[in-house]
Amino acid sequence: MKESLNKKIHSGEQFDEIRLQALQLSKPAAISFVNPFSYYELQKRDDLIDGIDYFFSDGALLCKLHNLFLPKVTRASFDYSSIAGPFLQYVSDNNLTIAVIGATEAENLKAVDVLRKQYPNINIGYHRNGYIQNAEAVYKELETHNIDVVLVGMGTPYQETFCVNGKKALARPMLFVTCGGFLTQTSIKADYYHPIIKKLGLRWLQRVVMHKHVRDRVIRQYPKFVLSYLYHMIKKK
């Protein structure tokens, strides 16, 4: 278990401050979110841990485990139960040009349409699906369209790889923000999570019911994650 990842996980309460800080940099920066699945995927990739500037804990489970051993953090997820709404409103209010990359072509088109209806003043300067064969060409498109913020929903480790390579390829300041399944969820329903689900903090349960790949991940991988995380952290202590 790499301490470098744990040290980069910030509290959700710091998100607005870090967002502002990252947007003021004179070079590209990247923000991503960690859940029990992506935590161990990222452990395999030092280049991604080093290349992403800020991580946040995406979900209560990782927060609770993290807080048993390390400085306390609160959740920050890119969905409408957390930071997605305020972030997109900030982009709209400050006339930042955003690129929306990820999901299938149909899902991407639907998600972009939903975002434009939710935020009438949002400036979506570029969008496309997340199945990218030529990343260099996409980075050139981002520069051509003078993009300020890049929302990337491809799943881990693909979205983090795209962000880290983008930081290397781009000359102008640009903020990459990963969003996991947000674009797919938004294409299904504008506010994906049911109000009661959000109130009870059971977002994971709704995803488990609605998506087979999430169901498989929770059943097969999450128990292993909990045991492995506790083992390594207790051993380190």
- Residues recognised as catalytic: 107
The alpha carbon of residue 78 and the mean position of all alpha carbons in its chain are separated, in whole angstroms, by: 6
Amino acid present at 177: V
Query: Residue 30, SS3?
Result: strand
Question: What is d(CA 147, CA 174) in angstroms, rounded to the nearest whole number?
Answer: 7
Helix %, strand %, coil % for the chain, to 5? 55, 15, 30
Instruction: Name residue 123's beta-bridge partners.
Output: 97
Query: Residue 73, SS3?
Result: coil
Q: Which of 21, 151, 14 is nearest to 76 (CA)?
A: 14
Query: Would you call the peptide bond into 36 cis, given omega within 30 degrees of 0 as the criterion?
Result: no
Q: Which of 10, 17, 18 is nearest to 63 (CA)?
A: 10
Q: Which two tokens stand for residue 237?
A: 């202590």
Angle at 17 between CA 16 and CA 21, to 5 degrees: 115
Query: What is the SS3 assignment for 135-193?
Result: HHHHHHHHHHCCCCEEEEECCCCHHHHHHHHHHHHCCCCCEEEECCCHHHHHHHCCCCC
